[in-house]
């Protein structure tokens, strides 16, 4: 199809609008949590890969942390292994943990690496077990009792949270011009494996690296306010107020809490964006409007902040 004058003008507008952002973010680290529709829809998978590779080519250092809940559930069903959940977390016995490691560390991780490499990137897949990248500790779940008794602690197996991140591993990969692709599996001091929430891992990595941005892909337009309008340019205080007022609930709550904690800990900005939009990552980073919810310490927009 031939390029029209109007199309050419639109392309030129996008390129010139992106230039200040490219100049500002060159040499900075951006941590991206990859999940949801963007992981299963073929068009979205391709656009995500191109976004990440382009970021690397213009001098930004992307780090990808991925989930894989639906893929894990599919394999468990095929193996006739029952899944049970407590507070939205999958109870992970040793048999389920074997499947988690196979799916996250093998199938899903290597598919993402292959996708990035196919689009002319240099990606390397690791789990948190490689180089002791992620030290984990067991996640304790407390269930409130209605009768006023002490909260009951529930054992949900090999589900963990981040205890520490080995920054050296990530720095070596970045300095070698590789794009790290990380499966959220960690080990404790005794070598036991733990399945960790990918949003949480992405947030912790962004914090310890002092990342420029933390980007969380979701299956919704962002944090929604009245009349389902996307809220953006939020300050940490505004986000804390939304949480306290219970305006953020369900599956969005842990993402917002993760983003809030990252910004409060020194990450310049956090973005909760619509992974159902093609090239969502580039649109959020390199345009004035973006495609989701932007959270900064003082509530500045992309355009104001540049």
Per-residue pLDDT of 59-70, as tens digits, reads: 999 999 999 989
For residue 301, pLDDT over 80 is answered with: no
Per-residue pLDDT of 11-50, as tens digits, reads: 788 788 899 999 999 999 999 999 987 898 999 999 999 9
pLDDT of residue 23: 93
Strands 89-90 and 61-66: unpaired
pLDDT of residue 258: 95
Q: What is the side-by-side strand order in the sheet with 269-274?
A: 123-127, 179-183, 61-66, 29-34, 213-218, 269-274, 292-296, 234-235
Q: Which tokens in the block code for residue 306? A: 């540049």
Alpha carbon 65 to its chain centroid, in Å, reads 6
Q: Which fold has domain 25-211?
A: Carbamate kinase (3.40.1160)
pLDDT of residue 16: 86
Per-residue pLDDT of 229-243, as tens digits, reads: 999 999 999 999 999
Between 101-105, 247-251, 262-266, the lowest mean confidence (pLDDT) is in 247-251
Residue indicated by tokens 């893929």 = 71
Q: How many residues does the chain have?
A: 306
Fold agreement between 25-211 and 214-306: yes
Strands (E), 71-119: 85-86, 89-90
pLDDT of residue 2: 64
Q: Residue 86's CB: how many other CB atoms inside 10 A?
A: 14
Average the pLDDT over 194-215 and give the result.
96
Between 93-102, 124-133, 219-228, the lowest mean confidence (pLDDT) is in 219-228
pLDDT of residue 147: 57
Torsion sign (Cα): 164, 192, 30, 290: negative
pLDDT of residue 93: 93
Average pLDDT, the chain: 91
pLDDT of residue 145: 57
Nearest residue to 211 (alpha-carbon basis) of 259, 273, 253 = 259
Give the residue extent of every domain in the chain. 25-211, 214-306
Per-residue pLDDT of 136-193, as tens digits, reads: 999 988 765 555 555 678 889 999 999 999 999 999 998 889 999 999 999 999 999 9
Tell me the CATH number for domain 214-306. 3.40.1160.10
> Which helix (H) or strand (E) covers residue 111, if one does?
helix 109-118
Q: What is the pTM of this model?
A: 0.92
pLDDT of residue 10: 77
For residue 88, pLDDT over 90 is answered with: no
């Amino acid at each position: 199809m031939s390029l029209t004058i109007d199309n050419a003008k639109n392309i030129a507008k996008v390129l010139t609008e992106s230039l200040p952002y490219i100049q500002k973010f060159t040499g900075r680290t951006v941590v991206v949590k990859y999940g949801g529709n963007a992981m299963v829809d073929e068009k979205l998978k391709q656009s995500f890969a191109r976004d990440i590779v382009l970021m690397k080519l213009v001098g930004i250092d992307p780090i990808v942390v991925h989930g894989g809940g639906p893929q894990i559930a599919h394999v468990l069903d095929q193996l006739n292994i029952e899944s049970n959940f407590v507070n939205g977390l999958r109870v992970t016995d040793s048999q389920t943990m074997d499947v988690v490691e196979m799916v996250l560390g093998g199938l899903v991780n290597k598919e993402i690496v292959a996708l990035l490499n196919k689009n002319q990137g240099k990606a390397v897949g690791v789990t948190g077990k490689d180089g002791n990248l992620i030290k984990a500790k067991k996640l304790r779940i407390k269930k409130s009792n209605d009768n006023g008794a002490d909260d009951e602690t529930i054992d949900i197996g090999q589900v963990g949270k981040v205890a520490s991140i080995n920054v050296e591993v990530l720095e070596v990969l970045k300095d070698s011009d590789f794009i790290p692709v990380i499966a959220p599996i960690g080990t404790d001091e005794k070598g036991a494996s733990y399945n960790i929430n990918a949003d949480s891992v992405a947030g912790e990595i962004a914090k310890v690296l002092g990342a420029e941005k933390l980007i969380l892909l979701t299956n919704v337009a962002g944090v929604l306010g009245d009349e389902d309008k996307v809220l953006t340019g939020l300050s940490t205080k505004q986000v804390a107020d939304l949480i306290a007022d219970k305006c953020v609930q369900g599956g969005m709550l842990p993402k917002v809490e993760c983003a809030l904690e990252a910004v409060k800990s020194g990450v310049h900005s956090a973005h909760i964006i619509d992974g159902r939009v093609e090239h969502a990552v580039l649109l959020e980073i390199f345009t004035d409007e973006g495609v989701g919810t932007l959270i900064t310490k003082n509530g500045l927009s992309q355009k104001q902040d540049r």
